[in-house]
Structures are given as C-alpha cells and as structure tokens.
Amino acid sequence: MGRIVLLVTSPRLPAGLLTAQAWDLVRTHPVFASTESDLAAALRTVGARVSIIPAEAAAVFDALAEHGTIVWLAGPTGDEVLARELGLRLAREPELAELELMYGSWDPPGARLLDVVAVMDRLVSPGGDPWKRQQTHQTLARYLLEEAYEAYDAIEAHDLAGLKEELGDVLLQVVLHARMAEEADRPWSVDDLAGGLVEKLVRRNPHVFGDAQVANVDEIIENWERIKREEKARDSAMDGIALSQPALALAAKVVSRARRAAIAVPTPTAPTAVDDEAALGVALMALVTAAEARGLDAEAALRRAAFAQAEAVRAAEAG
C-alpha cells in the first residue's frame, strides 16, 4: 500500500527549520509541492528530491503510483482543499494509500505578531493606506486613549470576547506608532520596542530571572520600585507620572507614589463647605487619599456611581 505524507510547516519560521523526523522523511522519499518556495530550495540544498506539480488529487496519485511513498510539501495555508480531495478519494478507495499528516514545524507562541508587523508595514509603506501614511504620533494620540478606554470598559463588563478585540485595537496603535517611528529623525522599530521591554522585564524581576529571594508580593513590588528608581535616576517621586491621565487617577498616583517613597506630607482634610473650585479640589483630594489608604480604586468607584446615577435617570424618564 502506498503512503502520502502531508508535511505542514510554519511559514513564520526560517526555511529548513524542521523536526528530525521531518528531515529523515524528506531525505528518504521524493517531495512534491505546487509552487517553488524557500523551504523547497532549502530541501534541495541537502539533496532532497523536490518536484513541482499541480495541487490536484490526480497529479498526487500519479506521483504515488510511480514512487510508492511521497511527501506533499503543503503551502503556507496548509493546502486544505487538496487534503480534503485526497481524504475523500481514499475514503472511497482505502486500498490506494495511507494518508498521514506530519507537522515539520509549528508556530511558537506569539508567531502571529509577525503577521501584524508585516501587515502594518504594508499599510504604512508607499502604495499602502493613504490615511495611515498621513498620520503622526500627535494625530494618533487620541485614538490610543480611546482604545485603552474601550478595553477598560470590556474589563469592567467582564466581556472577555470584547476584551480580546479591544486589546487587538490597542496593539494596532502600538504597532502603528512603532512603524511610523522607523521614519523619524532618530528611528527605532518594533523590535527595538520589544527588545527594550524584554530587558526591562528581566531586569525588574530578579526573583524570576536572577537569584533574588522574596518572601511575598510586597517585596516583589518593593524590588520593582527600587530597580525602577535606580534606572530612572529621578529627582522626585513625582517624576514620570502621566500628567494627561484623568484627574482622579492622577491624584491617586500622586498619593501612591508619595506613600511608597515614605514621604510624609499633610493629609488633605475635606472642607466643611465646598463653595468654590479650590475647596472642591481639596475635598476630592481628601477622598482620594482616604481611598488609596484603604486600597480602594477611586476612579472605578466614581465610574460605578456615575453608571448607577445614569440608570436612575433612565428609570425616572421611563416613569
């Protein structure tokens, strides 16, 4: 009985990066494919017999009749149509051959990120999307915020399917900014971005990637903050706070940074009367300080209260 082996490989890995089992197979039996490829060329360099034939069941069975055992080198999409045709034919005539699927290589986790980078490069390069080519970091800034807020809403709604989509939109913004940066006066790429992130994660987690010993999560956070201070060499605990974030979140970050740095400052006291914006600001700061001391999220709390108020308004409107 003949044997047809469908050899499926990852198009995102370097040509020739195959398992030992796959290499043994292609060195021993003739290989067929529908198009020339880098992988076909790589196989030929080590003496494999690679022939190009139509991706049709008839052509494959003709090759099978001549050689007894053949390897079909699947294309980037897996040649599902051909595999289905072969399977249907062999279901009717099982004596013709055995059909086997072998994975010569497979995508590592995160491999589809390479596709994201490739698609974005096409969109931003000459001949791509005119709108994206007209953008700057400044014109795109508001979209980054909007996508982040939409991801936040999905989290609040416990909508995991929605979160997947919204985080994809956030990733789009990250990759787009990185691609645009390649054409700046001092260019950097998405690889520079990712490389810097990897170095930071390794550096700031010595309990995982080094020999640091920690007893609890508090010590992990303390190590992170200490390493961060050493890296940034900042003059103040207030340096590096994102000033564009919403006021409540900004206030909470100021209070949190001061507490972690063990900086003693007078705790704001809410005024008995709120007659102007200055008094209102002090009252809000006092509430944020009290919330942070108790581990409460003032921003999320206000959002929930606002949602509840909106529902009460709708209920009143409905009578």
- Nearest 5°: phi and psi at 199? -60, -40
Q: Does domain 112-232 have CATH number 2.40.50.100?
A: no
Residues 277-294: tens digit of each pLDDT: 999 999 999 999 999 889
The dihedral built from the CA positions of residue 117, 123, 124 and 127, taken in this order, carries a sign that is: positive
Please compute the mean of the pLDDT values over residues 251-268 and round it to a whole number.
Answer: 82
Is the model's pTM score more than 0.75? no
Cα–Cα distance between 42 and 38 in angstroms, integer? 6
Tell me the β-bridge partners of 70: 4
pLDDT at residue 1 in the model: 80
56 close to 84: Cβ distance less than 8 angstroms? no
**Class for the domain spanning 2-103:** alpha beta
Largest CA distance in the chain: 95
Cα–Cα distance between 241 and 171 in angstroms, integer? 22
Instruction: Point out the least confidently predicted range of 26-40, 81-95, 135-149, 247-261.
Output: 247-261
Residues 290-310: tens digit of each pLDDT: 998 899 998 888 888 888 887
Give the residue from 281, 279, 271, 273 showing the smallest Cα distance to 247.
281
Instruction: Point out the least confidently predicted range of 25-34, 185-194, 232-241.
Output: 232-241
Task: Give 187's contacts (C-beta < 8 A, 6+ positions apart).
Answer: 181
Give the residue from 60, 88, 83, 111 showing the smallest Cα distance to 8.
83
Q: How is the chain split into domains, by residue range? A: 2-103, 112-232, 247-318
Please compute the mean of the pLDDT values over residues 219-242 and round it to a whole number.
Answer: 81
Cα–Cα distance between 261 and 269 in angstroms, integer? 21
Check if 2-103 and 112-232 are the same fold: no
Residues 182-225: tens digit of each pLDDT: 998 899 999 999 999 999 999 999 998 988 888 888 888 888 87
